[in-house]
Amino acid sequence: MNTPTTSVPPVTPTPADDRMSHHLRALAEDAEALFKATARAGDEKYDATRERLRDELHHLRARLGELETNAAARVKTAARHTDEAVHAHPYSAMGAAALAGLLLGFLMARR
């Protein structure tokens, strides 16, 4: 049951990615709140700025949605490749898991 192995780029989101996504969402929410708060002002300069801000918010939300969809697809692909690799080489996978467990146990015991 030899299946060809292919290298898959790492797909695990990092804490920095999560923080960036959180900050971008917060920025979009704050900008939307500012947009609503200034909607009552009838000045033409504010109107033009609000329009640009509305367009940028729309673009930002669309891009965030695309990023989330792409990340989910990459995670699913990585999980499928991992499953295939474990099924192709079960003893190697068990050995790697045992080694990781021993290393983790050793590191936790030192604290």
List, as one string, the DSSP characters of 56-93. HHHHHHHHHHHHHHHHHHHHHHHHHHHHHHHHH-HHHH
CA–CA separation, 11 vs 74, rounded Å? 6
Task: Give 75's pLDDT tier (boundaries 50, 70, 90).
Answer: very high
Q: Is the pLDDT of residue 111 over 80?
A: no
Ranges 58-67, 76-85, 91-100: which has the least confidence: 58-67
Which pair of tokens denotes residue 110?
A: 């030192």
Full domain range(s) for residue 85: 15-109
Question: Is this model's pTM higher than 0.95 or not?
Answer: no
Please compute, for residue 45, the number of CA atoms within 13 A of its CA located in the half-sphere on the CB side: 0
Burial group, residue 46, by CB count within 10 angstroms (0-12, 13-18, 19+)? middle
pLDDT of residue 68: 85
pLDDT of residue 1: 45
Give 51 or 40, the one with higher predicted confidence: 51
86-103 mean pLDDT: 94
Please state the domain count of the chain: 1
Q: In terms of Cα–Cα distance, which of 15, 13, 35 is closest to 23?
A: 15
Q: Is the pLDDT of residue 49 over 80?
A: no
